[in-house]
Structure 1
Amino acid sequence: MEDTDPKRHQIFTYGTLKRGLPNHSLMQELIHQNHAIYLGSYSTHFSFPLLLGPSAIPYLINLPGSGRPVRGELYALSDRGLALIDELEETRVGYYDRLPVQLVGGGNGGDTVVIGAECYFAGKGNWEGLWSGEDRETLEEYTELEAMQYVGKVQRSKLFPFGLDLKI
């Protein structure tokens, strides 16, 4: 995939796909195969609740104006790269929904720029029990500290064979 490829998809990652975190190996493989390009660090233009759910899974809730601006990384993905990340995020079954988001970051001249991208917001059935408004602390960034408690999909399927980790 070339940087000028018109079919690239700009995807904002805020959780385990970020550099140094548990699922970044997938992003590294996509970069190695020319299906992804790292574009830099960005933050959401608007505030959103970023919550730590069961198994230390990060959930970004699509409630603009609640929570805080969230820090993450922006990638340009090929169609194949996007399909693989959609599979990881289980968009077909509504675990996450890939939706538009506005981001802010530094431009080439040091000026702040606002750009459009997409990111994975928690599917409604996955966050309803986690967020009721103001009773829960939200994160500004999912970091190595939170990721130390993360339980990956394979381990979760052994611990919770019937998907019980998804329910609060």
Structure 2
Amino acid sequence: MLLTFLSFFYTVFAVQETNIPALRQLFYEARDNDDKAELLFKQIGNYEGREGILVAYKAGAYALKAKHGANPLNKLKNIKKATRYFSEAVQLDPDNLEIRFMRYAVEDQTPGSLGYSEHVAEDKKLLLDGLALYPKSGFTPETARIARDYLQQYCKCSEQEKQILQQVKL
């Protein structure tokens, strides 16, 4: 019983100590920086709690390990873990647009031949719908900007979708 209490206490304390904006910035910077990717993994890779957004950042950390890794087998193992943790994060908090954006960005950049891009269309639709309703959609200003900019740069969007993105005012 004491072990259960201590585990619960640690999880609650760890969540309170986690700085989501700092993780968000680190995740963004780690995309093109091995050292930042390793730092992100050290900060969140061992997270064992049930907070959806933190599980999503854990998934993102594994995805970045896959991206920056040299060993093809380890890359595959890490993208599988990322996929599993993203699924868990979405189950924990299915309406969180930041989680959906992170999963979309990772799956969108994962080679389709690997079979780990099954949610791209679903997440893209949710993101576009959320951006169309911004600021009443649940996006924070920062995540709305990041999602809009990412979609404008990388999305294979229809003309109608491009118009939605152009109309998002932050």
TM-score after normalising by structure 2: 0.24
CA radius of gyration, larger in? 2
Which structure has the highest strand share of the two?
Answer: 1
Larger RCO, structure (CA 8 Å, separation 6 or more): 1
The structure in which a higher percent of residues are helix is 2
TM-score by length of 1: 0.24
